[in-house]
Amino acid sequence: MAELAAVIASTHHPFYYKTSQLPPKDRPPFAEEWITKIERFRQTLTAAEPDVLVMVGSDHFHQLWLDNMPQFLVGKAPFFDANWYNEEREFGLPRMLLRGEEDLAAHILRDGLDRGFDLAFSNELRIDHSITCPIITLRPQADLPIVPVYTNIFAPPLPQPRRFVQLGRAIREMVESWESDQRVAVIGTGHLSLELGGPRQFGEHGPDPEFDRKAVDWIASGDIDSCLAEVSLESLHAPGNATHGFMDFMLMMGVAANRAGEGQKADHVETVDLFHTMEAYFTWYPDGVPEREPDGRLSSAASSASEERSESGGEQ
C-alpha cells in the first residue's frame, strides 16, 4: 500500500513568486524573512521524499463557475495546465504544466464515492494559484505528478466545516489504501483571517489577529475538537470576508489526524506576519520525522519528531 509521507498545510500567497524573483536590492523589507521561512518549509517536503502529491485547493472562479458549481472535485487527467490570464496579470504567475497521477485520482474517486462523498470530477482542468503557489514554494521544480482536489470555500452555499474535516480524514485513509508502493504527500492551502474586496482589506496586518492566533494554535496542536466547536459557516464571516478559506486548513487537520481520527501536533510550524495577512506553514509526518540511515535509505524515527517540533515550533 502507498505510504503517507507528509501532510502539509499552508496559506497560498500569490505574491510570493514575484517577491522571490526580485533581485535582492529591489525586494521589500519583509522579503528576506519570508523567503528564508519558505526555504525551510520546502525542506520539510524534500525530506519526506514524495513520489506523488495530492494537492488540495480551491478554484477562484477560473474554471468552476456558478452555472455548474461542484462542492468537492477531483482532477483526473494525464496533465494539468496551470495559472490563468488574470493571475499572470495581477500576480505575475508563470504558466505551468504538471503531470497528473490518474491511478490515484481514480482510486480516490471510486473509494470516495463508496465512503459517501459524492465527489465531482474533471478530465480537463486548468489549475489555479491555490495549487500552483504551494508547488512554487514547496516543489519549484514541479517534477512530481499530482492529484488536484478542489473544495468550494468561495461560492455559497458551502459545505459545513465538519465536512471538510471528514473529507480530510477520508483522504488519509484513501491514500493509505491505494495499492501502490509510492510515497504520497498531501498538501493543502487555505487562509487565516482574510478580507478581499471589503473595507478591511490590505490593512497593516490580517483583519483579525486574534482569530489568526487561535487558528494557528488549533492547527499546530491538532485541536480539531476546539476548532469545530468554535468555527461555523456563520462565525467565519467575522474575521474577514474571505476567511472561509480556513476550512481547507480544517481539511488538512483531518488528513493529519491519526487512524482513530484524532488531530495531531504538527512537526513544523512557522508563521510570517505580512502587511495584510498572516502566512502560516505546517508539516506533519504521520510515521515520524524522516531520517537518513548511514547507507542513505530513508527511515522513520518518531523520536526525532519532538526535537523538530521544539526547534521550529517556537516561532509560532
Partner 1 sequence: MSRYLLDKFLYTVDRDPELVERYREDPAGTVAWWETERANKILNCVDAEDSTWLGFTEEERRALRTHDHVTLFELGAHPFLTLTLFIAMFEHDHEPLGYVKAYAQRMSHIQLPYPDITT
Q: Which residues bind partner 1 (CB under 8 A)?
A: 60-62, 65-67, 84-86, 89-90, 154-157, 196-203, 237-238, 241-242, 275
Quote the least distance from Cβ 84 to partner 1, whole Å. Answer: 7
Give the residue among 292, 313, 252 at the shortest CA–CA distance from 6.
252
Quote the least distance from Cβ 242 to partner 1, whole Å. Answer: 7
* φ, ψ of residue 102 in degrees (nearest 5): -70, -30
Distance CA 94, CA 223 (A): 37
| Residues in a beta bridge with 80 | 98
Distance CA 64, CA 58 (A): 9
Give the residue among 163, 222, 214 at the shortest CA–CA distance from 7.
222
Quote the least distance from Cβ 266 to partner 1, whole Å. Answer: 29
Nearer to partner 1 (CB atom), residue 24 or residue 85: 85
Nearer to partner 1 (CB atom), residue 140 or residue 198: 198
Quote the least distance from Cβ 108 to partner 1, whole Å. Answer: 26
Nearer to partner 1 (CB atom), residue 49 or residue 275: 275
Q: Do residues 33 and 80 touch, judged by C-beta distance below 8 A? A: no
Nearer to partner 1 (CB atom), residue 24 or residue 157: 157
Give the residue among 136, 127, 115, 160 at the shortest CA–CA distance from 59.
127
Q: For the chain, give me the number of helices (H) and strands (E)?
A: 10, 12
Nearer to partner 1 (CB atom), residue 199 or residue 314: 199
Distance CA 281, CA 278 (A): 10
Nearer to partner 1 (CB atom), residue 79 or residue 275: 275
Q: How many residues does the chain have?
A: 316
Quote the least distance from Cβ 80 to partner 1, whole Å. Answer: 18
Quote the least distance from Cβ 85 to partner 1, whole Å. Answer: 6
Q: Do residues 224 and 172 touch, judged by C-beta distance below 8 A? A: no
Instruction: Give me 88's grid cell.
Output: 499572470
Cα–Cα distances in Å, from 76 out to 96, 121, 171?
17, 7, 15
Half-sphere exposure of 316 (CA within 13 A, CB side): 24
Quote the least distance from Cβ 245 to partner 1, whole Å. Answer: 11
Nearer to partner 1 (CB atom), residue 148 or residue 239: 239
Nearer to partner 1 (CB atom), residue 44 or residue 277: 277
Longest distance between any two alpha carbons in the chain, whole Å: 57
Quote the least distance from Cβ 33 to partner 1, whole Å. Answer: 19
